[in-house]
């Protein structure tokens, strides 16, 4: 089994130590390959170590997590960035998504949620803590109500593509979407590929950012 290589970026050594110990309990599924106590070091180590995932806090000295995420994603798009923070703040969430973050988890999450977040992001799927997903959906619903659908009519998304987009935004994996819509995983992957081609977006996190910015979907009743 290929181990998921992780870079930890947090200015609190006790947090890094706790995460390092947590990942050691998984019998080799995860390995911490580097640690950074500030944003500048996080960017530098991402370039040198090229981890599968960088787990990044928002509040860090020298360079905050938002700027660090931007630079990591610009320079190393294959490196996934998972935000792990205490901030359950709408502004921070959207800033991190716009910066290119692939997931957003709160520090009070249970260990299994952190493991799931890392596995999900490593497989190129987005992951957001339930409370964060709720904020995103509320934002999309509000923006969808405010913005006329006609403004985006040239995109010509099918009804099924819109359904898939909404479920992607909610943080569901392709398997979960397939189960929810009673379709095969290959069919869901085809819809996701079509969405990315139509929107000229080439990663799942980009679909989430696009939905937030454009208000293309609405929350379920």
Residue range 59-92, pLDDT digits in tens: 888 889 889 999 999 999 999 999 998 877 777 7
Q: Which domains does the chain have, with CATH numbers?
A: 4-128 (3.40.50.2300), 134-214 (1.10.10.10)
pLDDT at position 14 is: 92
pLDDT at position 202 is: 64
Mean pLDDT of the chain: 81
pLDDT at position 13 is: 92
What single string gives the DSSP state of each residue in the chain? -PPEEEEEE-S-HHHHHHHHHHHHTTTTSEEEEEEESSHHHHHHHHHHH--SEEEE-S--SSS-HHHHHHHHHHH-TTSEEEEEES---HHHHHHHHHHT-SEEEETT--HHHHHHHHHHHHTT--EE-HHHHHHHHHHHHHHHHHS-GGGGGGG---HHHHHHHHHHHTT--HHHHHHHHT--HHHHHHHHHHHHHHHT--SHHHHHHHHHHHT------
- Of 56-60, 67-71, 99-103, 200-204, least confident by mean pLDDT is 200-204
pLDDT at position 174 is: 83
In this prediction the pTM is 0.66
């Amino acid at each position: 089994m290929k181990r998921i290589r992780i870079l930890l970026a947090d200015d609190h050594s006790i947090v890094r130590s706790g995460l390092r110990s947590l990942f050691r309990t998984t019998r080799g599924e995860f390995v911490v390959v580097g640690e950074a106590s500030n944003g500048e070091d996080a960017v530098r180590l991402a370039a040198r170590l090229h981890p599968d995932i960088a787990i990044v806090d928002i509040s860090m000295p020298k360079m905050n997590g938002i700027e660090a995420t931007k630079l990591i994603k610009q320079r190393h798009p294959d490196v996934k960035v998972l935000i792990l923070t205490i901030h359950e703040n709408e502004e921070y969430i959207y800033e991190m998504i716009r910066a290119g973050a692939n997931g957003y988890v709160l520090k009070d999450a249970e260990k299994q949620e952190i493991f799931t977040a890392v596995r999900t992001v490593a497989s190129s799927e987005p992951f957001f803590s339930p409370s964060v997903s709720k904020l995103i959906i509320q934002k999309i619903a509000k923006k969808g109500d405010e913005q006329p659908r006609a403004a985006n009519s040239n995109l010509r998304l099918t009804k099924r593509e819109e359904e898939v987009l909404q479920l992607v935004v909610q943080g569901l994996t392709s398997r979960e979407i397939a189960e929810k819509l009673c379709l095969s995983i290959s069919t869901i992957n085809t819809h996701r590929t079509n969405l990315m081609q139509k929107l000229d977006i080439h990663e799942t996190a980009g679909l989430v950012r696009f939905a937030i910015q454009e208000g293309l979907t609405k929350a379920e009743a």
